[in-house]
Amino acid sequence: MNGLTMRRTATIHPDAARVVEKIAELERDVKPPVLIAQMRLMMKERTRQLALDPPVVGRIVDQSIEGNGSAVWVRIYYPESKGAAPLPALIYCHGGGFVIGDLDMVETICRTICRESRIVVVSVQYRLAPEHPFPCGLEDTLAVISGIKRSGLGLGIDVTRLAVGGDSAGGNLAAVAAQEMGAFLRFQLLVYPVTDLTGSQPSYRDLGTGFPLTAEKMRWYVTQYLTDPAQAQARRASPLMAASLVGQPPALVVVAGLDPLVDEGLAYAARLREAGVKVEVVEIEYFPHGFLGWTRYCKAARDVLRLIANRLEMSLHGSG
């Protein structure tokens, strides 16, 4: 989007407007304060109504992955395959503001990527705040990558062809993981990522009201995740604060034009590019945060998911 005037006058896409209305209907009788347990149940219902039924894949395995001295629960999706050769893999972290969300939240996303990219997808059930604040979710993500790198071959994974990805809060975890383990990774997928927990980007002001994710909600999530506001300045909490991004794996950064997080996503992509990293930026104008989960109602969500699958296939299989 070009300029603040366009931001303030841009009309939401009709498909997205329908979804926003449906979300308002789901939450009509919900009165604050809302318990976190209730928020998590509400997200489950939202996902059930807004996402397409997940496609069929070869097989699905729920298990724990041992890494860095801890065990983390994951769901592993395998594509239909006639061969026995190990396959490349994407390690994926769901969104939810570090507070809500689970493996079911990204079931359609992960299965679609698995099926269309012909790769294994490892979906991470990282620990959630406020019960498990920063850096617990990050430590779980790093543990899974380490565990896959060490013993992935036994899971049918080619450990030389790994990617990390996530949406929203999961994009934050993926970005930090790429900073710390980029030498092991071929690609990073960042979908409307949280990269600056200070909440100081202009889009917080310009786009912080009127959509399902508001600036106020995002700031509340941050207070649940961090135990000290000063942590927002740390690189492991706000990957945009990194002194250098040299040596990072190639990235696909997807942002939503009507998202209070759009500026920090674009800023992170710009930092990657300045560091000499190959970056593709896809901005979906007239859509708010979270649209990738709205595949039942939004063609844009289905199109972007198809593009993501294509880029992962090209990066990890070397095709195209």
In the Cβ-directed half-sphere of 72, how many Cα atoms lie within 13 Å? 29
Q: Do 166 and 235 meet the contact criterion of CB atoms below 8 Å apart?
A: no
Where would I find the beta strands (DSSP E) of 106-263? 120-124, 157-167, 187-191, 251-258
The DSSP bridge pattern shows strands 59-67 and 70-78 to be antiparallel
Which of the residues are catalytic?
Answer: 168, 259, 289
Helix (H, G, I), strand (E, B) or coil at 29: coil
DSSP summary character for residue 195: -
- Point out which residues pair with 76 in neighbouring strands: 61, 122
Residue type, 150: R
Tokens representing residue 27 in the block: 């939450």
Q: Give the Cα separation of 265 and 194 in Å (integer).
A: 7
